[in-house]
């Protein structure tokens, strides 16, 4: 790696240009919903297989299953952006 500085200057600006925007298509939305659904299903299945009696077992140096669940439980900003996600026809992840 060279210690030579890169040429050119960064020019910050106070506006967002059209070229700065990332397109989010209907297909992208569909894929995002599918990924969140699969992620939710993986948590449901993993915790069901482990059983409630294992949720608080020490897993040093890692977190317990309960600590992991509590940590990710409040992460919903992205899910709110893509809308209600569903398992089957009636349940929703919120």
Separation of alpha carbons 84 and 93, rounded Å? 7
* pLDDT at residue 88 is higher than 70: no
Share of the chain above pLDDT 70, in %: 73
At residue 93 the predicted structure's pLDDT band, cuts being 50, 70 and 90, is very low
**What is the reported pTM?**
0.54
User: Is-contact 94 85, C-beta < 8 A?
Assistant: no
Task: Delimit the domains of the chain by residue range.
Answer: 29-93
């Amino acid at each position: 790696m060279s210690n030579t500085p890169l040429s050119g200057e960064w020019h910050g600006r106070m506006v967002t240009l059209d070229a700065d925007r990332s397109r989010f298509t209907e297909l992208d939305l569909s894929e995002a919903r599918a990924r969140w659904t699969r992620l939710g299903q993986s948590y449901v299945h993993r915790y069901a297989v482990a059983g409630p009696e294992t949720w608080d077992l020490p897993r040093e140096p890692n977190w317990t299953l309960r600590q992991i669940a509590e940590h990710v439980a409040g992460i919903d900003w992205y899910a709110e952006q893509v809308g209600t996600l569903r398992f089957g026809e009636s349940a929703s992840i919120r």
